[in-house]
Amino acid sequence: MALSKIGSDAIVNDAIGPNQLDETANYTFTGTVAGAGGVNTPAFRASRNVTQNTTDFVQTKVNYPDIVFDTASSYNTSTSTYTIPSGQGGKYFVYACVRCNGDIDSEVFDLAIRVNNSYAIGYSANQYRYTSNYVAGVLNLSAGDALTVYVFLGNNIVLRDESGANYFGAYKIIE
């Protein structure tokens, strides 16, 4: 048996009913569809636009005193700590960046994100006078977990005052 090509003249308009291809005429959407998309909240981003001195070869907490956004009001500017809100445990994408100045090239520059003051994600590199370090990853966090950022720097290095190059943030991943 041979198949023939069906042309548009063979399809009868309104064969099923009026506006059969215009779904907006058939359905009124007033809610949400379960499992179709979502939002990556809670989320926050903080920055720093002031110079911060560090102590040579000592873990130093990085201060990010400026909130860019905080959907759950869980970032504490006085401690530069983000605490996972109640009922919001799960997987989070976390990230941090620091820009620094040093007196000489090839100094130590370690950047780490801590959870409850324990090392969670880090990056280590040599510092070349004007350098940015970025660290990011996915962490499985529980409500009440506290996120902070620490640096470990060599001789006479200061954290620069550029808010675009000094930031710390996280957002919950939709699962």
Q: Considering the domain boundaries, does residue 21 fall inside one?
A: no
Is it the case that residue 4 has pLDDT exceeding 60? no
Residue 37's pLDDT is: 66
5 or 94: which leads in pLDDT: 94
Q: Considering the domain boundaries, does residue 15 fall inside one?
A: no
Tokens 């007196």 found at: 103
Confidence tier at 3 by pLDDT (50, 70, 90): low
Tokens 């040093």 found at: 102
Strands (DSSP E) contained in the chain are: 43-47, 52-53, 59-61, 66-70, 75-76, 81-83, 90-115, 118-141, 146-153, 158-159, 167-172
Residue 15's pLDDT is: 54
Burial (0-12, 13-18, 19+ Cβ within 10 Å), 164? exposed
132 or 166: which leads in pLDDT: 166
163 or 1: which leads in pLDDT: 163
Q: Based on the structure, what is the number of domains in the chain?
A: 1
Q: Considering the domain boundaries, does residue 162 fall inside one?
A: yes
Residue 58's pLDDT is: 82
Residue 85's pLDDT is: 97
Q: Considering the domain boundaries, does residue 95 fall inside one?
A: yes
Mean pLDDT taken over the chain: 80
Residue 24's pLDDT is: 56
pTM exceeding 0.85:
no
141 near 126, Cβ under 8 Å?
A: no
Output the CA torsion 68→72→78→83 (10° steps): -120
Q: Which residues contact 117 (CB under 8 A, 6 or more apart)?
A: 146, 148
Percent residues over pLDDT 70 in the chain: 69
**Strands 167-172, 43-47: parallel, antiparallel or unpaired by DSSP?**
antiparallel
Q: Considering the domain boundaries, does residue 34 fall inside one?
A: no
Which structural domain range is residue 154 located in?
A: 43-172
CATH of the domain at 105: 2.60.120.40
Q: Considering the domain boundaries, does residue 151 fall inside one?
A: yes
Q: Considering the domain boundaries, does residue 110 fall inside one?
A: yes
Q: Using one digit for the tens of pLDDT, what is the confidence trace for 137-168? A: 999 999 999 999 998 877 767 777 776 789 99
Q: Considering the domain boundaries, does residue 144 fall inside one?
A: yes
